[in-house]
Amino acid sequence: MEIYTGEKKKMYSEKNSIAHLLSFPADQHMEVHEYQRDDWIIQEGMRPDFLFYVMEGRAKIYITHQNGKVSLINFIHANDYIGEMELLHDVYYTKGIQASTKTVCFALPIHYYRKPLLADAKFLRELSKFLSVKATIMAAKYSQSLAFPLENRLADFILQTADEGVYKEKHVTVCDYLGVSYRHLLHVLTQFCDKAYLQKDGRNYHIKQYQALYAFAEALKNK
């Protein structure tokens, strides 16, 4: 993880802004954090010290169950918040958030900004919109498992998790997230390779036909 400082921070902050989300200037104490693939933005079991606003990149949310099983539960994209529940409630919702690509975030120290943020009607309106969309997406995910075959859902998953055209997620994680058997997953991956949508390279897969995967994934959004 890198924290931008000096001219690099100034240039990034000037080029990218979250002024449209706030009614007050936040430049003085706000930081800019950059994470590489597989870096942990929040370690599970550690309370976040920042409210993050993702400017670029993607990340994954994991949770460990009481039986020790680790599950992927959701994705984070540009223009998403991280740590919003800890900002709103003085409790910690234990989860781990790991970058799946290079990810750059604005980081607002919660101890400094909690009071002004919770008193800012403009920010609260934008946060309410975000939480509403987030809840809708989570509800749609469960209905999609019944309404669409694995080809559509796997294509969408590959596009969300691939980094620079390379898909490398563990099969057991994908099976758990999509609710399918290991055998079924391998069968569809083999089909994608046979049709030259993907090219297998060891344990990784290179995307060769983005448009074919987009066509499968788009069906989920047009439901």
In terms of C-beta density within 10 A (0-12 exposed, 13-18 middle, 19 or more buried), how is residue 208 classed? middle
What are 47's two structure tokens? 């309370």
Q: Please determine, for residue 223, whether its predicted confidence score (pLDDT) is greater than 70.
A: no
In this prediction the pTM is 0.84
Q: Write the pLDDT tens digit of every residue in 171-183.
A: 998 998 898 999 9
**Which of 73-82, 88-97, 151-160 has the weakest average pLDDT?**
88-97
Q: Please determine, for residue 108, whether its predicted confidence score (pLDDT) is greater than 90.
A: yes
Structural domain boundaries of the chain? 2-126, 145-221
The CATH superfamily of 2-126 is Jelly Rolls (2.60.120.10)
| Strand, helix or coil for residue 174 | helix
What are 120's two structure tokens? 């800012």
Do 145-221 and 2-126 have the same topology in CATH?
no
Reported as a pLDDT band with limits 50, 70 and 90, residue 148 is: confident
Statement: 145-221 belongs to CATH 1.10.30.50? no
**Which residues touch 109 (CB under 8 Å, ≥6 apart)?**
29, 31, 49, 50
Length of the chain: 223
pLDDT of residue 191: 96
The backbone torsions φ and ψ at residue 88, rounded to the nearest 5 degrees and listed phi first, read -80, -30
